[in-house]
Structure 1
Amino acid sequence: MLQDVVIENMQLQHEAYVNRMARPAAPAQPPEGIGIVAVVPGVGLQRVFESLGVSAIVAGGQTMNPSTEELLSAIASLPNEQVIVLPNNANVILTAQQAKSLAESRNDRTRRVAVVPTRTIPQGISALLALNYQADLEANLRAMEEAAHSVQTIEITRAVRAARVNGLGVAQGDVIGLLNDELCATGQDCAQVAISILERIHAERMEVITIYYGADSARSEADAFAASIKQRFPAQDVELIDGGQPHYKYIVSAE
C-alpha cells in the first residue's frame, strides 16, 4: 500500500537525517532510556507516530485538547527514566508543561521529563525524524527543536462562520488555509488554496511535500488534491498519507 511505502520512506528519512548529522543510525524502537509521549489526532496519524517509535499516544488535537491528567497518566505508564512529550498543538503546550512538572514531582525515582514544544503534526514528525536514541537527552532536545522549526505546516479546512482575520474576509463555508497556525489564504478550492500558500513559501526550493488527508476527505478526492500539487511542483516528492484527522481536510508539510 502507498501508505506503507510512505511510512517506510519516513524511516529512511530518519536514517538519512542522522547520517547527515554524522551520528550512528538510530534503532527502530526506543531503548529503555528514552520514552516518547505524543498527542495525535486520527488513526492514520497515530500509526505514523507509532512507526517512528512513539511509546504512548494520547488522542487529542484541535478543539479536543487532552487534560493534564491524561498526559500525566501516559508519562507514568512508561518505564523509561527519560521521557519526551510532543504536544503537536499550540493549545496543548502549556498542559504538557504542567504534566511534566507533576510527573517529575510525583515520581519517587529519578525521572527526566522534557517537552519539545511542537505546535503542529508536521513539526512533531520532523522532531521524531531528528531523534537519535544513542545521543543524550539534551542533544536530542536541541536537534528535535531545530528540526521542528525547519518544517512549514499548511492546514486546509472550511470556515464554520463568517469572519475577518489578518485582513482577509472569510464567508461561512469558504476554504481557508493556515500557514503555521496563521490564516493566510481563502478560496473555494482546497488544492488552489494550498498551492497559493506553497507558492508563498517557495515550495519549489524544498524537497518533500507530504499531504495527510483527513476523515472528511474521500481517497479519490485526496488523490486529485495530491495530483494538483504534483502538477504545480513536479520536481518535488509529493507523498499522500491517510491521516484520518478531524477538522482539517488536509495537513500539508513542506521541507
Structure 2
Amino acid sequence: MVPGNSAGPELDAALDDALLEAGARHVVLLPNGRGLTATVEQAAGRAWERGREVVVVPTASPVQGLAALAVHDPGRRPADDAVSMAEAAAATRRGELMVARRAALTWVGRCEPGDVLGLVDGEVVLIADDVPSAAARLLDRMLTNGAEIVTALTGQDAPPTLLGSITGRLRADHPEVELTGYDVRVPDAILLVGVE
C-alpha cells in the first residue's frame, strides 16, 4: 500500500527500489490515492522493463486498498488474484470527511473555511458545522442502499471519540453492518470510510 497523496522524485525512487528489492515473482501495487495512480503505473512500467511482473490495482483510497487486500490469495494465479482484488476495490464505496480550507461552491452549496465536508466517491455530498454530525450523516447516506461491512480510518485531526461514536451509531441504527475501525491518523482527512 502506498500511503499519502504526494508524488515526486523521492516517491519514484522509493517505488523503483522497493520493486527491485521485493524478490517476488509477482507484485501488486495499490496506489490508495486519487493522485498516485499515474506515478504507480509508471513505476510498474519501469519494473516490467527490468523483468519484474507488476500489476497495479486501481484504488483511490486506503479503504479500497484494504478491501483489495482482504480478498488477496497468494495461492491463486496472479492474474486471477489481481482481478479479484480489483473487483473488491471497485465494489467499495469510499467516503471522506475533511475540513474546507477555503470558500468554494460545491454540488450541495457554498462552503466556508472550517466547514466539515462529507464526500462520497470524490464528490461533496454534505456540509456540516461539526465532525460527529457530519460522520453520522455521511454514514447514513452511504448505507442508504444497504451494506454488510464498513471500514473506518480516523485522520490525524479526528476527535479521539470519533470511532466510539461511529460504533455506537452503527449498533443502534444498522446492527446488521459489521464495523472495523482503525485509529491510524491518516493525513489530510478527518475520517475515511469504506462501505461494502
Same fold (TM over 0.5): yes
Choose which of 6, 9, 17 in structure 2 pairs with 1:73: 17
**Rounded Cα–Cα distance in structure 2 between residues aligned with 1:204 and 1:232:** 14
Choose which of 153, 169, 172 in structure 2 pairs with 1:212: 153
Give deviations 1:14-57, integer Å, cap 9, x for gaps. xxxxxxxxxxxxxxxxxxxxxxxx202xxxxxxxxxxxxxxxxx
Alignment match, 1:243: 184
**In the alignment, is the contact (CA less than 8 A) between 2:151 and 2:179 conserved in 1?**
yes
TM-score under structure 1 normalisation? 0.70
Gaps of 5+ in 1: 1-37, 41-60
Query: SS in structure 2 opposite 1:205?
Result: coil
1:254 paired to 2:195: yes
| Cα 1:135–1:225 shift into 2, 3 Å | closer
Query: Which deviates more from structure 2 when the two are superposed, residues 128-137 or residues 185-194?
Result: 185-194
Gaps of 5+ in 2: none
Alignment match, 1:57: none
**Rounded Cα–Cα distance in structure 1 between residues aligned with 2:145 and 2:179:** 12
**Rounded Cα–Cα distance in structure 1 between residues aligned with 2:182 and 2:105:** 32
1:126 paired to 2:89: no
Alignment match, 1:193: 134
**Rounded Cα–Cα distance in structure 2 between residues aligned with 1:211 and 1:203:** 17
Cα distance, 1:248 vs. partner? 0.9
Q: How does 1:1-255 map to 2 (within 5 A)?
A: 38-40=1-3, 61-62=4-5, 64-65=6-7, 67-105=11-49, 107=50, 110-203=51-144, 205-255=146-196
Query: SS in structure 2 opposite 1:223?
Result: helix
**In the alignment, is the contact (CA less than 8 A) between 1:204 and 1:236 conserved in 2?**
no
Identity among equivalent pairs (%): 26
TM-score under structure 2 normalisation? 0.89
Query: SS in structure 1 opposite 2:65?
Result: helix
**In the alignment, is the contact (CA less than 8 A) between 2:108 and 2:126 conserved in 1?**
no
| Cα 1:111–1:193 shift into 2, 3 Å | same
